[in-house]
Amino acid sequence: MAAITRVYTLPLAAEMLGEDAELLWEVYVDMEPEDSCLWVYGPDDQQIPAFTDFGLESLTDFIREHKTAARRAANKSPGHDRALTVLKISGRPKRAKASSSADTQNDVSIVFDRRQASTARSQPHV
């Protein structure tokens, strides 16, 4: 890996890429140091994201993905999400009856054994 010889601050990167700095602020939060996005610290606790040459390439990819996702969200029909969240419930729920008398209650271990048996999942064979 080549040594990092220069970085571009977020406002400069926005200018270089012809993008709005606000968009870059939204996009860079998904970037990792592996994407060549780093923080530059200055006096008086100033700090700003900056990008290497490779970071600018990564940033361009992130911007493209962000805009594609935004277009998809804007093109969704308003009723589409609602249709997926409608749940039709028919009939009455079956409710268990509890007994207040100690002599008619099941032993705790029997209850847990039955529940474990009814929810047991088969383990994959290795």
Phi (first) and psi of residue 49, to 5 degrees: -70, 145
Inside any domain, residue 123: no
- Residue 108 belongs to some domain of the structure: no
Number of domains the chain contains: 1
15 assigned to some structural domain? yes
The order of strands in the sheet holding 8-9 is: 8-9, 47-51, 37-41
Pairing type for strands 37-41 and 47-51 reads: antiparallel
Average pLDDT, the chain: 75
pLDDT at 30: 85
List the domain range (segments joined by +) for residue 71.
8-76
> What pLDDT, on a 0 to 100 scale, did the predictor assign at position 19?
93
Lowest mean pLDDT among 4-8, 14-18, 56-60, 70-74: 70-74
By percentage, how much of the chain surpasses pLDDT 90? 37
Q: What global pTM score does this model have? A: 0.55
| pLDDT on residue 65 | 92
Give CA–CA dist 47/15, Å, rounded.
19
* Domain presence at residue 118: no
- In a domain? residue 87: no
Q: Is residue 95 part of a domain?
A: no
Residue 102 falls inside a structural domain: no
Q: What is the mean pLDDT of residues 36-52?
A: 91
* 52 occurs within a structural domain: yes
β-pair partners for 50: 9, 38
